[in-house]
Amino acid sequence: MQKPFIFGALALASFASAVHADVTWEHTASVSMGTSKPITLFNIRNDWSGDNHRARISFDVSKMAAAAGNMAGGMSGGPPPSGTVDIIERLGDDRLIFALRNPTNTAVTQYLEEPYSTLQSRLRINFFQALDPKFAKDAEPVPALTDEQRRRLGQELRAYTKPLTQAVSRQYFRALPEKRVINGLESRGYRYTSMTKVPDSMGSKGQWVRMASELWIASGQSGDDEILSFTKRANELKSGAPTVSMWINEIMPILAETAPNESQAFIAALIGRKGDANYGFKGTPTQIFLTVSPPPAEQLVTGEIRLQLNLKRRADAPIPMRAFASPTTGERTKIEPFLAIMRNLVKEGRDKIEKSMGDML
């Protein structure tokens, strides 16, 4: 009599372990200059379901394109003024898809689909082999510093450059004391201001450019664990050296460590700090404001530049698997021909370097 109960309990446990919380974000964003209406509009939708994620980005830059055309004497051409792009990540079957949709957003016109786990290594174009064959791709793995070593180097560089930069760069950061309910979600705010002195053409001591930003994050929401889990697994697939040059691989992480503490704190408010349990995802962004104030003379031309992002909705309704499916229409773009062209350019570069050095000698 106990066997049906045991089998039923096992079935329920198995079902519960397979259940996951689907999550959808939808944000609107805009860019404006001066007192004009937005010149660029975006609608950004993110869907997470188990091993799958899709970012659908719709954009409208028609006003900015029209303004640029007027400045260029009515010349047209270039990318389309509006459209939709899908970025699909499927960890289960190791696929990464970029798809450009038609103007009516009813079908895909062009797409690229590649294995996720090997794409980064295939994109590593080795420009250093043009200098010395020992830097070829099949050489030994590129050495890498530890996080502790990068942090120490960054701190030393920051201490060395601080007397040089403090006269031309200032940063301010603080967590706002009061929470705010935004679109039904209790959010915590952070404010960051950066002041940078830039030289002007009049030979004076320079003028200040001010960048003020405000970030609001809602944490502890249903499905947050789902997003964090996906982010960590996707980051593991993308781990590894981005290039075959130790110099290039290390310079950006070290420079990031040289950033002022206020800048690092603002970034950490959005994605956490490396080594934290929730690194990569701290919560749902409910509002982001960014205002760049050029010096007064430049403001007469451009005015202030403002970016604004707002959460339109957050939902946990089930997402159909077709949202993450490979395109069935449109032209598939192959990446290998592009890589072959880049490799040939590297070879030509090596030949030209050898020839030029020979001519000099």
Give pLDDT tens digits for 183-237.
999 999 999 999 998 876 655 677 889 999 999 999 999 999 999 999 999 988 8
> Mean pLDDT score of the chain, rounded to an integer?
83
Of 209, 170, 175, the residue nearest 191 (C-alpha): 175
Sign of the dihedral through C-alpha 126, 128, 133, 139: negative
pLDDT tops 60 at residue 75: no
Helix (H) or strand (E) holding 12: helix 2-18
Check if the beta carbon of residue 90 is closer than 8 Å to that of residue 116: yes
Q: How far apart are CA 283 and CA 314, in angstroms?
A: 12
pLDDT tops 80 at residue 173: yes
Pick 247 or 99 by higher pLDDT.
99
Cα torsion at 80, 299, 309, 96 (round to 10°)? 40
Sign of the dihedral through C-alpha 104, 110, 116, 120: negative
Pick 8 or 235 by higher pLDDT.
235
Helix and strand element counts for the chain (H, E): 9, 13
Q: How far apart are CA 212 and CA 170, in angstroms?
A: 12
Report the DSSP beta bridge partners of residue 196: 169, 209
Please provide residue 330's backbone torsions phi and psi, each rounded to the nearest 5 degrees. Answer: 90, 170
Task: Give the confidence band of 5 by pLDDT, cuts at 50, 70, 90.
Answer: very low
Pick 10 or 53 by higher pLDDT.
53
Q: How far apart are CA 186 and CA 184, in angstroms?
A: 7
Q: How confident is the model over 290-310, as pLDDT tens digits?
A: 999 988 877 777 789 999 999
Q: How far apart are CA 358 and CA 361, in angstroms?
A: 5
Provide the pLDDT for residue 247. Answer: 84
Of 150, 340, 119, 91, the residue nearest 240 (C-alpha): 119
Q: How confident is the model over 139-169, as pLDDT tens digits?
A: 567 788 998 999 999 999 988 888 888 888 9
Cα torsion at 114, 119, 123, 129 (round to 10°)? -130
Helix (H) or strand (E) holding 258: helix 246-258
pLDDT tops 50 at residue 12: no
> Can you state the angle between helices 246-258 and 147-165, rounded to 10 degrees?
60
Q: What is the mean pLDDT of residues 57-66?
A: 83
Helix (H) or strand (E) holding 240: none
Check if the beta carbon of residue 209 is closer than 8 Å to that of residue 294: yes
Per-residue CA distances from 145 to 121, 140, 240 (Å): 19, 16, 12
CA angle 8, 12, 15 (to 5 degrees): 140
Please provide residue 316's backbone torsions phi and psi, each rounded to the nearest 5 degrees. Answer: -125, 30
Q: How far apart are CA 272 and CA 275, in angstroms?
A: 9
